Amino acid sequence: MKSFWAPWRMEYILRDKPDASAPVTEGSPCVFCDLLQDEDGPGNLVLYRGEAAYVVMNKFPYSNGHLLVVPIRHEKNFESLSDIEGAEIFRLGQKCITVLRQTLKADGFNMGLNLGRAAGAGIAPHLHFHVVPRWENDHNFMAVLGDVRIIPEHIQTTYKNLKRTFSENL
């Protein structure tokens, strides 16, 4: 039997969940918009707020330090971003790479976005860029044979370390 420790997932497991059969419409609650209602900190995992976009840790990461760059304005269409939003999103993507190289010693990165449910977007109504740090040889047998991801550091510890580096770099 395999046991993996991921204590931050309990919040997700126990929370009230919307009706999965209900269609997502413009007026539906949005996790990315809701994050901005709280003070930044370990509770919402927001690392940085800009004028048109912000950086938040992925609560359910593919790898340690998986970040999201999100426009502040609720928008699902990439082509509808303003020049200011697009420029800030890409500038923050660059800052994410700088911070992840300094803090987590990442060797490489996967960056991208999934537009629409058909493309694999988990939160389709509000577009967001993924910045996923990678390390040499980080694909071991656990991911390949066990269909398991290993996250080596508690998400709150990673938040504290990344927040400090973001503060120093922005």
Token pair belonging to 37: 């209602």
Active-site residue (options: 66, 74, 128, 130): 128
Instruction: Judge whether 154 counts as a catalytic residue.
Output: no
| Residues pairing with 109 in the sheet | 133
Nearest CA to 149 out of 135, 160, 162, 138 is that of 138
3-class secondary structure for 87-147? HHHHHHHHHHHHHHHHHHCCCEEEEECCCCHHHCCCCCCCCCEEEEEECCCCCCHHHHHCC
Please tell me the distance from the alpha carbon of residue 81 to that of residue 103, in angstroms, as a whole number.
30
User: Residue-wise over 79-92: b if at least 16 C-beta within 10 A, else e?
Assistant: eebeeebeebbeeb
The enclosing H or E element of 53 equals strand 53-57
The enclosing H or E element of 13 equals helix 9-14
Q: Annotated catalytic sites, by residue? A: 128
